[in-house]
Structure 1
Amino acid sequence: MKMAPLAYWLHAFFHEWLAEQRNCSRHTILSYRDTWRLYLRFVAARRHCPVSSIKLDELTADEVLAFLKHIESEQHTSIGTRNCRLAALHSFYRFIADREPLAAMQCAAVLHIPAKRGPITEPAYLDIEEVEAILRQPDRSTPEGQRDYALLAFLYNTGARIQEALSLCPCNIRLAAPEQVKLCGKGNKMRICPIWPETAALLAALLERNPRPENEPLFVNRYGFPLSAAGVRYKLAQYVRTATNEAPSLRGKRVHPHTFRHTVGVQLVASGVDVTVIRSWFGHVSLNTTNHYARANIETKRRALEQMDQSTRPRSPPRWRRNPNLLDWLDSL
């Protein structure tokens, strides 16, 4: 009894399992697709054969480990990206293990490859002055500048992920009080997010200048096609470069669209908003994700320190320790 070809299993995994049975988002499917493109090309190069001739039983745990080492050492991907690639491969091998008994041991070996532990970094965020400097850069007298200003202001108002913002359609915008938008987050989960009247006015002006169908994305390029996340990152990098003249502290920061999300989260925590409210606002599954913002804000920590009982603080150093001449004399003895 022979195993079915690899092409059969990949087709069943992507079309029947991910798309139909799991109803995964398009972004998840594309991420898994990119992983398999890289993986199959890597295996084909190692075996000096075309991708079409690779068999399922050749995709062993050794090949997976070699692939992970390759993308880390030669492509210089981060540990987080490495773990995302491994998660995509694990999903496929778990799918195979439930359906093909002949590949059970092979799949078990791959599924035992653990995710790699990496450094836990606090989310990078912007100060208010830095946000204001960036928002002053788009030329709002032009259609492109008006669009960019509205998009950046929307990100700062809502803390939305970049793809959530770029997928926003007019049908999901409420411009009348109470102003709000409906965002589609990870796993196709919908949530309501309030917006300021000023942000609603920006969106209304954008729709007035460039009307869009109710179910079509609001933010488009000059040709009427939806903006891409890569395009937004490119434009934002330009604005950050010019904004460093007004806010020199930006030179030491890597600013990308997700930085606005971190900034909103940190500022909400600093304003005393309960983390459970922030979790609902941001669409987090786990409260642990939201707690990162509480750990990142140094001002919140400073205010907590100042609330400690005064009597528990260290006293001033003795007078003789503050007299450098006396210390020098004692050292000379």
Structure 2
Amino acid sequence: METEIKLFISYLHNTKRMSGNTVVSYERDLKKMMLYFQEVHQMTRVQDITETSLNSYMLYLEKNHFAASTVSRSVASMRAFFQYLYQEHLIENNPADHLHPPKVEKKMPEILSVEEVDLLLRQPSDRTPKGLRDRAMLELLYATGIRVSELIHLEMSDVNLAMGYINCRDTDSERVIPFGSQAKKALQQYMHTVRDGFLKGQESEVLFTNCSGKPMSRQGFWKVLKHYAQTAGIEKDITPHTLRHSFAAHLIQNGADLKSVQEMLGHSDISTTQMYLNMNVYKIRDVYTKAHPRK
């Protein structure tokens, strides 16, 4: 079974060109499945796994109180894995054909109000190199709605200050996203006055670095965000994705069309972007209920 998992992971890397994080998730899910079958059922061959076997594994996950979202992700991994094995004629029948994930209740993401975003973005000091860097990161994240992984992988050549846009690349596509005057001002101050000080003579194309001149990490940015949320007194559970959600929700609340927001966010399916429109509907309904005299 281990050999087939390695073949599948290689296929995701080299043929499907999936992102590193996605491939790691698939591999982790499948190794957990393999361990279950080896230890509980003494199964070592993928050819011995049946639909009943997979259902027993799902039942095991649920009995051990794994979250519905975790079980759903495991189902997606197993379906993709066994479909690959079937296409490659490594198994005669696909045992995952009728495997269905549990229903996952979709929670509305936490978003900040415009006032909370403004308060957060005013926290970094404009008198220290670190403060100027942090403000540039936060301003750009909120101005463009890019993912944190995209933010920390931006290079100097991806930023067009004169025209006010960035080139954001992932494994499948490239998108051009505009940014406004506040983000432009913050980027100019960071790029022209303090970035070289972080590099200390080193050569690097990475836009945002840590204090040692190395590329900023996700964990490093997480600490930056948590620190400023605390100093701002914001009690909401802020994650690096919160500014992305807030960016999209605020655009739609102010009349932006779904298609444009979809393109800026890089969503492949507009139904994902639809969530932010639904959030706006709920907000309007709440305002109506509280304010209309004949509610």
Work out whether the TM-score is over 0.5.
Answer: yes
Give the C-alpha shift of residue 80 in structure 1: 2.7
**Superposed CA offset, 1:167-218 (max 9, x none):** 1111111011x21001124x52211000113312322333332247998432
Partner of 1:104: 92
Q: Is the 8 A contact 2:152 2:208 kept in 1?
A: yes
Between the aligned partners of 1:220 and 1:82, the Cα distance in structure 2 is 37
- How far apart, CA to CA, are the structure 2 residues paired with 1:30 and 1:291? 28
Please give the residue correspondences for 1:157-172 in structure 2 after superposition, counting only pairs within 5 Å. 157-172=143-158
Identity, in percent, stands at 24
Match of 1:146 among 114, 120, 132: 132
Aligned residue number for residue 34 of structure 1: 28
Does residue 25 in structure 1 map to residue 19 in structure 2? Answer: yes
- Aligned-pair CA distance for 1:257: 1.4
Give the Å deviation of 1:150. Answer: 1.5
Tell me the residue number matched to 1:205: 189
Residues in 2 aligned to 1:73 and 1:139: alpha-carbon distance in whole angstroms = 50
* 2:215 paired with 1:226: yes
Q: Work out the CA distance in 2 between the residues paired with 1:173 and 1:303.
A: 40
* CA–CA separation in structure 1 for the residues paired with 2:206 and 2:183: 17
Contact 1:171/1:215 (8 A) holds in 2: no
Cα separation, partners in 2 of 1:45 and 1:223, compared to 1, 3 Å = farther
Structure 2 residue runs without a partner (length 5+):
none
Query: 1:271-282 residue pairs with structure 2 within 5 A?
Result: 271-282=254-265
Alignment of 1:194 with 2:178, yes or no, is yes
Match of 1:54 in 2: 44
CA contact under 8 A between 1:124 and 1:262: conserved in structure 2?
yes
Q: Secondary structure at the match of 2:167?
A: strand
Looking at structure 1, the residues matched to 131 and 55 of structure 2 have their Cα atoms a distance apart, in angstroms, of 47
Q: Distance in 1 between matches of 2:179 and 2:145?
A: 10
Letter in 2 for 1:111: D
Contact in 1 for aligned 2:49/2:95 (Cα 8 Å): no
1:134 correspondence with 2:128? no
1:265 aligns with 2:274: no
Find the partner of 2:164 among 145, 157, 179. 179
* RMSD (Å), alpha carbons: 3.1
Secondary structure at the counterpart of residue 241 of structure 2: helix
Which stretch has the larger CA shift, 58-67 or 152-161? 58-67
Which 5+ residue runs of structure 1 have no aligned equivalent? 1-5, 245-249, 316-333
Write the distance in 1 (CA, Å) between the matches of 2:3 and 2:47: 13
Deviation at 1:21, TM superposition (A): 2.0
Name the SS of the counterpart of 1:111 in structure 2: coil
Residue 83 of structure 2 corresponds to 94
Which residue of structure 2 lines up, in the alignment, with residue 247 of structure 1? none
Measure, in 2, the Cα distance between the counterparts of 1:184 and 1:44.
40
The separation in 2 between residues aligned to 1:64 and 1:225, in whole angstroms, is 44
SS at match of 1:22: coil
- Does the CA-based 8 Å contact 1:123-1:293 persist in structure 2? no
Indicate whether 1:288 and 2:271 are aligned.
yes
Q: Is residue 255 of structure 1 aligned with residue 238 of structure 2?
A: yes
- CA offsets per residue over residues 81-124 of structure 1, 9 Å max, x none? 332232122211110011235x233xx22232102212222232
Task: Evaluate the alpha carbon distance shift between residue 224 and residue 267 of structure 1 in structure 2; reply closer, same or farther with a 3 A threshold.
Answer: same
Size of the alignment, in residue pairs? 288
